[in-house]
Amino acid sequence: MTLKKRNIIINLILAVTLLFQSQTCKSDINRADFPNGFTFGTASSAFQVEGAVKEDGRGPSIWDTFSHTFGKITDSSNADVAVDHYHRFEEDIELMKDLGVDAYRFSISWSRIFPNGSGAINAAGVEHYNKVINALLAKGIEPYVTMYHWDLPQALEDKYQGWLSNKIINDFANYAEILFQKFGDRVKQWITFNEPHTFATQGYDFGLQAPGRCSILRLCKAGNSSTEPYIVAHNVLRSHAFVADIYRKKYKKVQGGSLGIAFNVIWYENATNTQKDIDAAQRAQDFQLGWFLDPLIFGDYPSSMRNRVGNRLPKFSEAEAALVKGSLDFVGINHYTTFYARDNSTNVAGTVLHDSIADSGAITLPFNGTKPIGERANSIWLYIVPQGMRSLMNYIKQKYGNPPVVITENGMDDPNSPFTSVKDALKDEKRIQYLNGYLSELLASIKDGCNVKGHFVWSVLDNWEWSAGYSCRFGLYFVDYKDNLKRYPKQSVEWYKNFLKKNK
């Protein structure tokens, strides 16, 4: 090879390399690419991080009971200590300040405010959350407060079966109003419920979460999978609407806050281009997001649910429908993954399950045949499909009139392996790729005209992950369960800090 030819080849290689690097740089986004005022934050929930379950007057919740029931938690752990955020919140808020986030979404434990669900207020519980809110504001971090993140006071479950009773509406409204009174001068962003679809189905259809009710294959001691999820969802929607009405009439004008709900939403792609599978994907979404958002936007449940569930689906009175409709200031979306949806033409599930999944007439899986929809994270349900974020945002824009949306949770988990060293566990390149991919697709949806206002990474810390216990790690910060719960930044922390710092 002549020297001239060699130089030409080297120059071509360099040119291609530079072009590739240029394109790679262009694909990396940062906060300056997002609209002015867009909120970036991290999230947690009380039961998953606080611990201190018997301190300062806190009463037991249904998750205390469930997590201490044999066989309910994968690794047989409980959240009595969790990651001790109750005592270490100042340290953890300092980590958030160092990250550079704008906001922190956390939940308040109902049984810390009302140990018995109602009645006398626990002053120590109020004081604790006052300290948390004030510490956040002192660091320039806005509090986003979730009122109910699954930890119903056990006393109300014992008294009248909790969410299965209409009595819950007044007790939840009383609890919410105390929160407005005690914290509303500083808290401007309220989320009444986290993932009502999850606790309605997992808690009352499949029995896999508290309070563990179901009738599927007689796996639970009590329950009716064909009716109870719908009753629970109905009482949640009425409770939310009642609280929204109270807030708007008594507090919103003075306090100037906003109120929404955080919905869990898997995006569904039809498994084939047949009309049956296209319809199945829509039904799957109707029985997930539509179940809750349709009443809040349009005043009633999706027609597919009315047609398929029949008299088992509760009805709103005319006054209730008017109260429910329009009772959201923003739509919270917890989005992690995408599944395929296929028509359940055989109705095998219907003959065996008699529940909300059978009612939907859709089979939803992260596989199409044997082909996975994307790379898997750790959890068996979490596959990495960034483009689902853009599809979901556009769906909400088109179907629901482009309401303000906040991504209240988005993230992925790694396994918690006893054979992985702390040093290796901090190398979470997959999480960096996940967040970069999902944020890129979120930005694309904003350019499509979707009205998205914020994004919260789940989660700030590794924590106790409900039925999975400590078997998986969702955190930006590693928590060493073997060494006094010390916090260590994973590689994703440095990536996220740079993402939040950069300007165009």
Closest alpha carbon to 285 in 388, 381, 387: 388
CA distance 2 to 322: 82
For residue 23, give both structure tokens.
């394109």
Cα dihedral 227, 231, 108, 405 sign: positive
**Count of other CB atoms within 10 angstroms of residue 294:** 20
Residues in the chain: 504
For residue 234, give both structure tokens.
């109905």
Number of helical (H) and strand (E) elements in the chain, helices listed first:
21, 19
Residue with tokens 């296929």: 342
* Ranges of H-type helices in 28-166: 46-49, 62-67, 85-99, 110-113, 123-138, 154-160
Active site residue 409: yes
CA distance 335 to 348: 29
Active site residue 195: yes
Active-site option among 320, 409, 441, 465: 409
CA distance 498 to 31: 9
Active-site option among 195, 228, 320, 441: 195
The secondary structure of residue 311, as a DSSP letter, is G
Question: Do residues 446 and 134 lie in contact, with contact meaning Cβ atoms separated by under 8 Å?
Answer: no
Torsion angle of alpha carbons 6, 11, 17, 22, nearest 10°? 180
Residues annotated as catalytic are 195, 409
